[in-house]
């Protein structure tokens, strides 16, 4: 089983194997910038087997020839050509640091059971890691754990961590999270995944509108009364609740001990 680092940034020969049609989400994930090269006969790959294999090529990185800033390459040919033509944000030219690493995806059958295979071949030593991009499942899970244990903390607080049990500073989860802007963005995504912090547009007015829509769309209305001016309140009552209340009131009136008082 790969470590978190090996899973996110595989280098050298690596192999992942999962039951076909039962693969975990993002099981073939890695953070390198991969370009789809199509399909090849597996006899042409390093691990000969019958059938076709999907092959992807690492597109390396783009690096400024002046300020040395590293840019993540686009993975389509026309798009990366446009990046090279545009140059760096400092106005200087970009150099494309290419890579010889490949990864293959295919299926095999062993003892009448089909497996999905992901294989990584080659090294990425010719270039640094590309910045940005999608976070790995390992990073997302680790970030969700920090948000769960301290959901009110700001990105700045989580960057440095605390003395509590289980605290992990964000830069130890991923170096990219040492950037405050990136940390804020990933924290907002984490809170959305956990249902802790809805998107900004889902505020109080959105909540009130949702209640109104549900009250008209559902077969049985459930808002008995409401007010947002003066004392603010919402009275929720289903037909079943109303029936139980009416029965209770009738029983109370008819009760020989209390009926005379009501009368």
Listed in sequence order, the residues at least 6 apart from 205 whose beta carbon sits closer than 8 Å to its beta carbon are none
> What is the pLDDT averaged over residues 240-254?
76
What gap in Å lies between CA 107 and CA 115, rounded to an integer? Answer: 5
Place of tokens 């940005």: 132
What predicted TM-score, i.e. pTM, was given to this entire model?
Answer: 0.59
What gap in Å lies between CA 133 and CA 142, rounded to an integer? Answer: 17
Q: Per-residue confidence at 164, pLDDT binned at 50, 70, 90?
A: confident
pLDDT given for residue 187 in this prediction:
86
Place of tokens 């139980």: 244
pLDDT digits (tens, 9 = 90+) for 39-60: 888 654 444 445 789 999 999 9
Strands 233-236 and 52-58, by their bridges, are: unpaired
pLDDT given for residue 259 in this prediction:
57
């Amino acid at each position: 089983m790969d470590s978190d680092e090996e899973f996110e940034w595989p280098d050298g020969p690596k192999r992942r194997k999962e039951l076909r049609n039962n693969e975990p989400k993002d099981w073939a994930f890695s953070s390198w910038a991969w370009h789809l090269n199509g399909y090849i006969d597996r006899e042409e790959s390093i691990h000969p087997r019958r059938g076709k294999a999907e092959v992807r090529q690492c597109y390396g990185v783009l690096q400024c020839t002046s300020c040395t800033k590293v840019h993540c390459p686009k993975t389509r040919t026309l798009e990366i050509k446009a990046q090279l033509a545009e140059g760096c944000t400092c106005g200087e030219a970009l150099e494309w640091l290419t890579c010889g690493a490949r990864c293959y995806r295919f299926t095999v059958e062993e003892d009448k059971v089909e497996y999905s295979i992901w294989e990584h071949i080659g090294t990425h030593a010719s270039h640094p890691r590309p910045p940005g991009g999608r976070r790995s499942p390992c990073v997302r899970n680790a970030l969700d754990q920090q948000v769960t244990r301290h959901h009110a903390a700001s990105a700045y607080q989580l960057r440095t961590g605390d003395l509590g049990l289980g605290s992990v500073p964000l830069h130890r989860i991923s170096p990219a999270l040492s950037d405050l802007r990136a940390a804020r963005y990933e924290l907002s995504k984490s809170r959305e995944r956990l249902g802790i912090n809805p998107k900004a547009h889902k505020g109080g007015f959105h909540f009130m509108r949702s209640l109104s829509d549900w009250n008209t769309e559902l077969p049985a209305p459930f808002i008995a009364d409401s007010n947002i001016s003066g004392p603010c309140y919402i009275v929720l009552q289903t037909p079943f609740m109303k029936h139980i209340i009416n029965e209770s009131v009738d029983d109370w009136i008819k009760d020989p001990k209390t009926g005379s008082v009501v009368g």
